[in-house]
Amino acid sequence: MDHLLLLLLLWSSGISERNQSSAEPDEVRLVGKASHCGGTLEIKHVREWTPVDFYNWTLKKAAVVCEHLDCGSAVSVQERKSPRRLVWSFRPDCFQSGSKLGDCLRLLPSTTMLNLTCLDSVRLLNSSSLCSGGLQVKSNQRWSSVCEADFDLQDAEVVCRELGCGPPSLLRGALYGEAEAPVWSREFQCGGHESALLDCRSSGSARSSCSPGKAAGLTCSEPVRLVGGASRCAGTLEVKHLGEWRPVDDNGWTMKPAAVVCEHLDCGSAVSVGLIFKSYGSVWRINPDCVQSGSPLRECAISWSSSSILDLTCSDSVRLLNGSSLCSGGLQVKSNQRWSSVCEADFDLQDAEVVCRELGCGPPSLLRGALYGEAEAPVWSREFQCGGHESALLDCRSSGSARSSCSPG
Ligand SMILES: *[C@@H]1O[C@H](CO)[C@@H](O)[C@H](O)[C@H]1NC(C)=O
Ligand SMILES: *[C@@H]1O[C@H](CO)[C@@H](O)[C@H](O)[C@H]1NC(C)=O
Ligand SMILES: *[C@@H]1O[C@H](CO)[C@@H](O)[C@H](O)[C@H]1NC(C)=O
Ligand SMILES: *[C@@H]1O[C@H](CO)[C@@H](O)[C@H](O)[C@H]1NC(C)=O
Ligand SMILES: *[C@@H]1O[C@H](CO)[C@@H](O)[C@H](O)[C@H]1NC(C)=O
């Protein structure tokens, strides 16, 4: 967890150093909406409730607040305009060890406040993303796990949409742990177009536990895409949040975070990170460190306005695995949506020249069997016969080699 979040939690649970000097525990709340799980975020300090500045808030930070309030999953972070007033602002530089919590929050004048919305009826637990995990639903103030048998793909579509994620990509029992008691005792019967799981029809299933391995575990796809390029693996990077696809601005992005995006889209290696200058207005600003730490793009996004946006190219059909850089590794090629390893005997230096060029690297410097691990099945069953000047490996001539595995090494 990020230091800021940890501090916020300590602050809100009253065990901060600051509580020595104030009589009441400090607190956190959401106000102004019918439910206590949505509204303007306020933090109490020395008997005064004060809103928090919108600046630099991500869904990842909001998730900690929602969880702390037992409000399920974070679904939105919004800017609330207000006349200029004093609000809490978090200092970016105060989270080193030894800094006092009180030093992290300061009152500064601002014209924006933070609105948070948590989804108080459905959540996915035990994963590193808000878009995947073990399913739980809340009713009568109590969270219940759901058994696989009571939840199908149409139900999953509703949950993924409700959470603001992409469509479901995997639905499997116990993928994120076993069901905890209590267990939901109805079978969901969604049509798929409902806007909330608890709006779906359901019928009694009289279950009181799920058998081992049968807790509903769901993975929704992350709402990330590349648009306007030659394939789905190249173009302007866009992220959907609050129902809106927006481009991502340049914020010191290098090939490393780009590689995370390419891999996430199952698009091979990152080949280039470019910029497009245009008047865009609203974009997402995404901290590359947040992406490299393994957080989904959507959870790292801050609303921003900018006129330079990211354009990424991934290699699409070729990748190098297990290497220490984007220019080395065990070779794999993709066809029919499937990655295959390649045997040394089917690949020579001229073929390597094409791959290195395709990946935007310099000429090949070493080509040797099993340098980066053994081949994983499936294995590519053609011998590449590149002339060396083709622009992509899959454009080269090839002949059948009828191999179904590479011998060791
Ligand atoms: C400060 O927090 C500690 C730990 O929760 C608690 O035991 C103590 O009573 C608190 N002090 C005050 C003054 O609230
Ligand atoms: C923010 O929340 C307040 C309630 O605290 C509400 O009145 C306002 O409409 C919300 N604004 C936005 C932009 O969500
Ligand atoms: C924004 O938040 C992140 C994560 O908490 C932090 O690392 C960064 O320094 C903050 N940026 C600013 C300008 O406050
Ligand atoms: C989360 O994981 C813990 C153990 O790691 C498990 O006890 C719990 O049932 C899991 N929750 C869900 C909803 O899958
Ligand atoms: C990568 O390494 C793992 C084990 O470290 C191995 O199983 C796998 O086959 C390797 N992949 C390639 C393409 O070399």
The segments of the chain whose pLDDT lies below 70 read 1-26, 92-103
115: Cβ below 6 Å to ligand 2? yes
Q: Given the structure tokens 């793909």, which residue do they identify?
A: 153
Q: Please, which residues have CB within 8 angstroms of residue 67's CB and are 6 or more apart in sequence?
A: none
209: Cβ below 6 Å to ligand 4? no
Burial call 343-382: b when 16+ CB within 10 Å, e when fewer: bbebbeebbbbbbbbbbebeebeebeeeeeeebeeebbbb
371: Cβ below 6 Å to ligand 5? no
321: Cβ below 6 Å to ligand 5? yes
The matching CATH number, chosen from 1.10.3720.10, 3.10.250.10, 2.60.40.180, 3.40.50.300, for 122-220 is 3.10.250.10
Burial class (CB in 10 A: 0-12, 13-18, 19+), 55: middle
C-beta contacts of 189-196 below 8 A and 24+ residues apart: 189/155, 190/154, 190/155, 190/157, 190/158, 191/154, 192/154, 192/157, 192/158, 193/158, 194/158, 195/158, 195/161, 195/162, 196/121, 196/122, 196/158, 196/162
374: Cβ below 6 Å to ligand 5? yes
DSSP 252-276: S--HHHHHHHHHHTT--SEEEEEEE
Q: Please, which residues have CB within 8 angstroms of residue 113's CB and are 6 or more apart in sequence?
A: 40, 41, 51, 52, 53, 54, 79, 80, 82, 87
> 364 preceded by cis ω (within 30°)?
no
Q: What ranges do the domains of the chain cover? A: 2-118, 122-220, 224-314, 318-400
Q: Given the structure tokens 């073990």, which residue do they identify?
A: 134
15: Cβ below 6 Å to ligand 1? yes
User: Was domain 224-314 assigned CATH 3.10.250.10?
Assistant: yes
Burial class (CB in 10 A: 0-12, 13-18, 19+), 283: buried
Q: What is the CATH number of domain 318-400?
A: 3.10.250.10
Distance (Å, whole) CA 402 – CA 383 = 9
pLDDT at 126: 93
pLDDT at 91: 73
> Assign residue 260 a region: left if phi > 0, alpha if psi is -120 to 50, beta otherwise?
alpha
Fold of 2-118: Mac-2 Binding Protein (3.10.250)
pLDDT at 365: 95
2: Cβ below 6 Å to ligand 4? no
Using an 8 Å Cβ cutoff, are 174 and 214 in contact?
Answer: yes
pLDDT at 341: 95
Average pLDDT, the chain: 88
What's the token pair of residue 332? 């794999």
> What's the gap in Å between 134 CA and the centre of ligand 2?
31
Distance (Å, whole) CA 167 – CA 153 = 10
pLDDT at 24: 37
pLDDT at 14: 42
CA-nearest residue, atom 13 of ligand 3: 92
CA-nearest residue, atom 5 of ligand 5: 373
Q: Which of 129, 143, 178 to mutate to test the pocket of ligand 4 (most atoms within 8 A of CB)?
A: 178
Domains 122-220 and 318-400 equal at CATH topology level = yes
Ligand 5 atom with the smallest distance to the CA of 370 is: 14
The 10 Å Cβ neighbour count of residue 32 is: 11
88: Cβ below 6 Å to ligand 4? no
Residue type, 3: H
Distance (Å, whole) CA 261 – CA 225 = 9
pLDDT at 106: 82
pLDDT at 26: 52
- 186-189 vs 201-204, strand pairing mode: antiparallel
Q: The whole model's pTM is what?
A: 0.84
Closest CA to 175 of 121, 135, 117, 221: 135
Beta strands in 126-167 (DSSP E): 132-139, 142-145
pLDDT at 25: 41
pLDDT at 112: 95
DSSP 34-86: SSTTEEEEEEEETTEEEEB--TT--HHHHHHHHHHTT--EEEEEEEEEEEEEE
Residue 26, CA atoms < 13 Å, CB-side half-sphere: 24
Segment (H or E) for 153: helix 153-162
